[in-house]
Structure 1
Amino acid sequence: MPARLKVGYCRPPRQPDCVNDRPVPIWINDPAALQAHFAQRPGRIGLDTEFIRERTFWPQLALVQIALDTGRGSLAPDDILLVDPLVPGMAEALTGILADTRILKVMHSPSEDLVAFRHTCGVVPTPLFDTQAAAAMAGIGSGVGYQKLVEQLTGTALAKGETRSDWLRRPLSAAQLEYAADDVRHLFEMHDVLADQLQRTGRLAWLEEDAARTLANAMAEGPERWPHLSLRSAGFLEPDVQRRLLRLLRWRDQYARTHDRPRTWILDNELAVNLARNPPIDLGGLLRVFDSQPKAPRKLADAVWQALQTPLADEAQAPDARQAETRDKHLLRRLQDAVAARSRELDLPDGVLASRRWLEALMDTGEWPSALGGWRRAVLEPTLGPLLTTGDNATTSV
């Protein structure tokens, strides 16, 4: 029985059948049709999404591209599915495919795609092979984009055309369909090359460990506990001001998630810092401040006032943002140099072994952060351990 349409949903006009006289991939606007293509489960699929995130906190999933590994070699047009997630029941149909651990999901730099899938489907694609991360571990380069990596590994130059398209409109244009299909058309070729390289160098387990952590983090994604640390200006604020700023930022994040609005549309960073530094004496004072700020959230004044005045249960434990100014910069430089030297020995691009932020966390707490656990710790600890014993790793709080 066909899925019942949601109130307000209108089935869009038919999609084009050809692009430049070539058959286009299969347009899927029926959950049963999607499930039929997976009656026999493939060992792997290529996966990508198009989404819109201009006016919302959560990415709005607008299109899901799936390449099916049929074992026939090069992909035929009917091996690529363009799935309309706006159709009622489609998210539920996708969920079973994404969660099926028998199917490897090959993706490229999927961090935001994972957020979109988790928000729309409640799951993330498991297991995962990230071709961008694989290229870094293979020594090709760090953060290499899809188009550049496709050209480097397959010799195919892709058009750049539709990155700014409105993917929520229906029907999609022929150019959009072709662009979307290209985003998964070459994933299997790249997977074959990269998996072989990593297998030969013994680094495939590294990639699998990173992928598992990426998926776990995506599923556990939630409000940042100490958002004030992300603001550079917080490093110049006194502890009591930092605590007020923390209250406002936590409230803003929760409101943004609940009401699906970008954080800065609710309360911009500059205004939050100003309120924390110069707190009004009462609600009337807050309203006067808002009157002088064109983008101030006047309708939310009561909530902002309540957040500003209400201490957080854990705010006394908040790290002092000023520690960046007192951190041992010479030790940090020695750690960075040691990581760079180890990267050269392993033929790894900069940034793969350890970022500056991870090293700072290691210095501040004296404990290896989860991002530096597993294979990275095994590679780095013999080099970094002796250096850390010379520094002061005590953590300060505001």
Structure 2
Amino acid sequence: MSDWIDTPEALRARLQAWGNPEIVALDTEFIRERTYYPQLALVQLAIPGEVLLVDPLAPGVAEALRPLLIDPSIIKLMHSASEDLQALSRGCGVLPSPLFDTQVAAAMGGFGAGLGYQKLVEQMTGVTLEKGETRSDWLRRPLSESQLKYAADDVLYLHAAHTVLAAKLAELGRSAWLQADCERAIRNAGSDADDVHPHLAVRSAQMLDADGQARLCRLLRWRDVEARRSDKPKSWILDNELAVALSRRVPDDIHRFNEFLDRNPKAPRKSRRELFALLSEPLTEAERAIPLNRSGENLDKQRLKAMQEAVAAVALPLELPEGLLCARKHLEALLEGRGWPPALEGWRRDLLEPVLAPLIPA
């Protein structure tokens, strides 16, 4: 049912034998436990009736994959593709395009929000898949028989799901919606830029005053740069809660600063002087101008509720999950005067602006 491919010559020969398929199912296995960037460990490809398990660790294989990945005439069929896109970008140096994401398509087609692959397959084909290798070491060689079967199953049923989903989206007139979302996912995966306001994703930042949040934002921006430079997980560079604690006040003495870090088991051993300098340097006006991470108590709850009800009123007749249409954080951005988030541009804004515009504070 599946073949192991570990030379560029074998891969090119098999892909040439496929001719010019309109759609190729695609998945990856990767490891990201000890690194910032995902380590691509396996690439699965499938056309109906044939699965290739491709070893991107073998010399020349990743390069041999690139023509298929970027071929504009071949749709790449993936499920919940965002992390796989990052792994392929890192491992092969290119992003697959065009893309058809079956998880997004299922949500748009009314089959359920955030469906995992096993649930999708069961719903579309009636087949129940095992979940036994989800935490495997995919970098080891050789892979076990159970790993190989699990990997093959991840692409084996995507074509059947695509047939159902593509027909449903065409019936509903939503094929262009999916295309737009998939194109945005590819753009996002191709952007290696850091979040300019990382403090907004840290819930406990709400406990800090404005200057504290500005210092936290500075620390987290530094952390993002260091994590990418060293290819280490962000939390290994600086833990979120420690960053919040450090941002509460400007340190006045390097020795007391080090004593505080010594009492914290998650404190970094290196970069202490750099952290002290980052926290000690006066804030600029630009740093103080960032949006604040506010608690729900500081929001206009009545207006937020009205906005949520407006989103629900749009989503209900369309049988769309409200979260797919508009997340709460995007409503909060509108409520705080930060403008329309990029995630709402396109078909979402077309649907929502008529009902949300009257509720947005002037």
Normalised TM-score (structure 1): 0.86
- Runs of 4+ aligned structure 1 residues displaced above 6 Å come to none
Q: Which moved more, 1:80-89 or 1:314-323?
A: 314-323
**Which residue pairs with 1:230 in the alignment?**
201
Q: Which moved more, 1:98-107 or 1:314-323?
A: 314-323
Say which SS state the counterpart of residue 222 (structure 2) adopts: helix
Q: Report the residue type matching 1:93 in the other structure.
A: A
How far apart, in 2, do the equivalents of 1:351 and 1:372 lie? 12
Deviations 1:143-168 (A, max 9, x none): 01111111111111111211111111
Which of 3, 7, 13 pairs up with 1:36? Answer: 13
Q: Report the residue type matching 1:55 in the other structure.
A: R
User: Cα 1:259–1:366, aligned 2, differ >3 Å: closer, same or farther?
Assistant: closer
Q: Report the residue type matching 2:289 in the other structure.
A: Q
How far apart, in 2, do the equivalents of 1:67 and 1:277 lie? 53
Q: Structure 1 residue 322: deviation in Å?
A: 3.0
How far apart, in 2, do the equivalents of 1:32 and 1:206 lie? 38
User: How many percent of aligned residue pairs carry the same amino acid?
Assistant: 54
**Which residue pairs with 2:43 in the alignment?**
64
Q: Report the residue type matching 1:61 in the other structure.
A: L
Which structure is higher in helix share? 2
- Is this contact kept in 2: 1:137–1:203, CA < 8 A? yes
Say which SS state the counterpart of residue 299 (structure 1) adopts: coil
How far apart, in 2, do the equivalents of 1:249 and 1:378 lie? 34
How far apart, in 1, do the equivalents of 2:42 and 2:208 lie? 44
Which of 163, 176, 201 pairs up with 2:134? Answer: 163
How far apart, in 1, do the equivalents of 2:14 and 2:25 lie? 14
- Is this contact kept in 2: 1:34–1:93, CA < 8 A? yes
Structure 1 alignment gaps of length 5 or more? 1-23, 69-73, 394-398
How far apart, in 2, do the equivalents of 1:117 and 1:305 lie? 37
Say which SS state the counterpart of residue 106 (structure 1) adopts: strand
How far apart, in 2, do the equivalents of 1:325 and 1:193 lie? 44
Q: Which moved more, 1:301-310 or 1:271-280?
A: 301-310
Say which SS state the counterpart of residue 184 (structure 1) adopts: helix
How far apart, in 2, do the equivalents of 1:167 and 1:298 lie? 31
**Which residue pairs with 1:114 in the alignment?**
85
How far apart, in 2, do the equivalents of 1:61 and 1:312 lie? 40
**Which residue pairs with 2:65 in the alignment?**
94
Q: Structure 1 residue 173: deviation in Å?
A: 0.5
Q: Structure 1 residue 282: deviation in Å?
A: 3.3
Say which SS state the counterpart of residue 247 (structure 2) adopts: helix
How far apart, in 2, do the equivalents of 1:383 and 1:242 lie? 33
Q: Report the residue type matching 1:112 in the other structure.
A: E
How far apart, in 2, do the equivalents of 1:90 and 1:365 lie? 49
How far apart, in 2, do the equivalents of 1:311 and 1:61 lie? 42
**Which residue pairs with 2:100 in the alignment?**
129
**Which residue pairs with 1:288 in the alignment?**
259
How far apart, in 1, do the equivalents of 2:9 and 2:274 lie? 45
Matched, 1:332 2:304: yes
Aligned residue pair count: 359
- Give the alignment of 1:322-361 within 5 angstroms: 322=294, 324-361=296-333
Q: Which moved more, 1:304-313 or 1:53-62?
A: 304-313
